[in-house]
Chains A and B, each alone.
Chain A
Amino acid sequence: MNIIANLNKMFESRIRLGIMSILMVNDWVDFLALKELLEVSDGNLASHLKALESEEYMEVRKQFVGKKPKTSYRASLLGRNEFNLHLENLNKLLSNTQEVVKKRD
């Protein structure tokens, strides 16, 4: 099963996979929105964001809304490509099972 090797290790974590899913279909998404969508703690989310950031899978923007600091994230081109590749490989792994064939758009 050398195909397993193609699955990106970065997306082994449910949370990192979730973060990238959200960033794929949105422009800038802020920390609070990610936290609410993924239902995780601040610290947990922050550490996964840092991991994705250090791989340059996403861009980070810090700004102030009134007096509150607000950090937003956007998927980078590299991140998008890696995520699409990962999705393709997941689908390839599953394409022989009927369940997925039915679910694929």
Chain B
Amino acid sequence: MTQKEQHLSDLKQIRSLMEKSTRFLSLSGLSGVFIGVFALFGAMAAYVYFDYSFYYGETQDMIYFADSQTRNQFLLFVFTDALSVLLLALSFGFYFTWRKAKRRGDKIWDNTFKRLLINLFIPLVAGGLFGLILLYHGEVAILPAITLIFYGLALVNASHYTLNDVRALGILEIFLGLIAVFFIGYGLFFWAVGFGVLHIIYGTLMYFKYERN
């Protein structure tokens, strides 16, 4: 190695270490697995509720035209289902990440984690609000696709502050969301794949890559 190459590689190392040390690395693969499992449970409940079908093309009619009792019942079910999935997924997600952080001797609530959450939640909250506004207009047709796309963007954004692998998951979610726009009415299926299957696969891969040793 010439002197110049030596200096150049020094600079590269400095840059890479500065980057690596400012990322939250305790993100647990098991968190991903459990988030996926609960998402699948939620999707299963909806699948049963929709009379064992992934197709719910009449949802829009249900929200727009059905009598208020049917409509309220439908909305109540959707909110209960979504909220329980969210709460269970978040609590188990936090638990396994907390456990991994503890095992590594890291504090979970450190700067890297705060930075990760803030950058994850900016696109996520924007997407959530956008979805709610669509719902307010009774536009549910592209809602599943929108949630997947915004979630994917949030992951890509967050990947700068944690394991780089999160970026790949984000890109897959965006891709899946775009495909979902073509298949209006099959949102439940795409949700099950995006929030369920992809999380389980990602989490399992991460678990074997970083944790099982």
Interface residues of A (CB under 8 A from B): 4, 14, 17-18, 21-22, 24-27, 29-30, 32-33, 36-38, 65, 68, 70, 87, 90-91, 93-94, 97, 99-100, 103
- B119 interface residue (CB < 8 Å to A): no
Which residues from chain A contact B10 at a C-beta distance below 8 Å? 14, 17, 90
Closest 5 CB pairs of A and B: A21-B17, A22-B21, A21-B14, A25-B18, A90-B7
- Name the one of A26, A68, A70, A91 contacting B21, with C-beta atoms under 8 angstroms: A26
Are B14 and A17 interface neighbours, CB within 8 A?
A: yes
Main secondary structure of the interface of B (DSSP, over half): helix
**CB-based contact B21/A17 at 8 Å:** no
Residue of B3, B10, B20, B105 most packed against chain A (CB within 10 A)? B10
Distance in angstroms between the alpha carbons of A100 and B91 in the assembled complex: 46
Contact of A24 among B8, B18, B104, B111 (CB under 8 A): B18
Contacts of B105 in A (CB 8 A): 30, 32, 65, 68, 70
Chain A binding surface SS class: helix
Contact bitstring B104-120, A, C-beta under 8 A = 1, else 0 = 11100001000000000
Q: Which B residues fall within an 8 A CB radius of A? A: 3-4, 7-8, 10-11, 13-14, 17-18, 20-22, 25, 104-106, 111
Q: Write the nearest CB–CB distance from A62 to chain B, whole angstroms.
A: 14
Q: Judge whether A90 and B111 touch: CB under 8 Å.
A: no
* CB-contact partner of A33 in B13, B106, B111, under 8 A: B106
Tell me the complex Cα distance, A30–B13, Å: 20
User: Are A25 and B11 in touch, CB under 8 angstroms?
Assistant: no
The answer for the CA separation of A14 and B21 in the assembled complex, in Å, is 16
CA–CA, A33 and B101, complex, Å: 11
Which B-chain residue is minimally distant from A105 (CB atoms)?
B15
Distance between Cα atoms of A37 and B8 in the complex (Å): 20
Report Cα–Cα, A22/B25, bound state, in Å.
14
Whether B20 and A90, one on each chain, are in contact in the complex, defined by CB atoms closer than 8 angstroms, is no
CB neighbours (8 Å) of B25 from chain A are 36
Contacts of B21 in A (CB 8 A): 21-22, 25-26, 29, 33, 37
Most buried by B among A21, A70, A93: A21
- Give the residues in chain A near B17, CB-CB below 8 Å: 18, 21-22, 37-38
Return the contact of B4 from the options A21, A32, A97 (Cβ within 8 A).
Answer: A97
**B104 contacts which chain A residues (CB < 8 A)?**
32, 36
